Amino acid sequence: MPRKSTRLDLAPIDGKLLEVTDLHVEFRTRDGVAKAINGVNFSLSPSETLAILGESGSGKSVTAQAIMGILDSPPAFVTGGQVKYCGVDLLTMPEKDMRRVRGDHISMIFQDALSSLNPVFPVGWQIAEMFRIHRGMNRSDAQEQAVRLMERVRIPAARERAGNYPHQFSGGMRQRIMIAMAIALDPRVLIADEPTTALDVTVQAQIMTLLKELQEESGMGLILITHDLGVVADVADDIAVMYCGRFVEHCDVHRLYANPAHPYTVGLIDSIPRLDQKGEQLFAIGGLPPSLTHLPTGCSFNPRCRFATEECRVAGAPPFIEVEDGRFAACYHTEEVLNRERV
């Protein structure tokens, strides 16, 4: 197997690491075509943290996997758009170059570290594999690097534990190992797909702090995928809210929490339990998300939306436009939503 010992030479253009333009992904299944991603646009700069927020099936993970080029195809097909990394479209990049981007330039960590690590290899070996494949290092040098990384993500007794298997670690430690593996080669972009969902709350905070610290050290761009508003509030710069494969709102954290511009974001924020409303029934968004094989006409959210009018049902999907300075939303009634009566 050819070993490439150097990094593919790519540098950020105009301060942008990643630019995703009009990304479309569909799943062709026996039951029909599920339109998982329907025109996603965003960009990421070094040291920036973008949180992508959405419920299960909204297309967060599919977006991440499309960027990485690791969607299972079939059934998944990227049907349109561009994913530009340092000015190069990853979607049209030859697979042999793309392999050198994955892990080296753009890395990813996953939700369930137990099943995401290979159960039959020691964790040190799995981390060291990054150096052996991408840097052509020999076994012992790579192992040494792996131990250093385990120390960097604060795994106690790293040297002794490098020979242990994933099942011998706690959930938090396993996620640290995933992180060590992902940051091994100093990637410029790290995509964290629900990194704390499988962990308990105190460990969640530790992992988020670790990610933040690593980002400050290296200046990597961080895409944080989650369905938990609480997790992202402290660490994210921007939040993008996803619904049915579209970004419905995208702005900085403070404005999004203070006053959402899309009815779906309003629903999400209203459904956070609040201490001052203890004992009252929790708010929930009515209805269920539609099936991706049979999306409603017009705005996908219209069947569940209290602001919906005839226009939302008949006209096409609302365009994703700048409604305030640096704030984007896809709704025909943004004004109304922003000036709504507050609870």
Residue 121 within binding range of other proteins, rule CB under 8 A: yes
Beta carbon nearer to other proteins, 34 or 123 = 123
Q: Does 156 bind other proteins (CB under 8 A)?
A: no
Burial pattern 14-52, b for ≥16 Cβ within 10 A else e, equals eebbbbbeebbbbbeeeeeebbbbbbbbbbbeeebbbbb
Bridge-based pairing of strands 221-226 and 189-193 is parallel
Report the alpha-carbon distance of residue 224 to residue 176 in Å, rounded: 16
Q: What minimum distance in Å lies between the beta carbon of 178 and other proteins?
A: 8
Interface with other proteins (CB under 8 A), residue total 31
CA–CA dist 58, 125 (Å, integer)? 35
> Which of 102, 148, 227, 340 touches other proteins (CB under 8 A)?
102
Candidate ranges 18-26, 106-114, 215-223, 270-278; the one touching other proteins (CB under 8 A):
106-114
Q: Does 27 bind other proteins (CB under 8 A)?
A: no
Minimum CB distance to other proteins smaller for 8 or for 269:
8
Q: Are β-strands 32-44 and 76-85 bridged in parallel, bridged antiparallel, or unpaired?
A: unpaired
State residue 189 phi and psi, 5-degree precision.
Answer: -125, 135
Q: Which of 129, 228, 237, 252 touches other proteins by CB under 8 A? A: 129
Report 168-197 residues binding other proteins (CB under 8 A).
178, 181-182
CB-nearer residue toward other proteins: 101 or 256:
101
DSSP 8-state class, residue 63: H
Q: Select from 295, 197, 247, 314 the least CA-distant residue to 50.
A: 247
Q: Based on the shown chain and the rule CB under 8 A, indicate whether residue 112 belongs to the binding site for other proteins.
A: yes
CB closer to other proteins out of 108 and 244: 108
What distance in Å separates the CA atoms of residue 228 and residue 225, rounded to the nearest whole number? 9
Instruction: List residues near other proteins by CB under 8 A.
Output: 1, 65, 68, 70, 72, 99-104, 107-108, 110, 112, 115-121, 129-130, 133-134, 165, 167, 178, 181-182
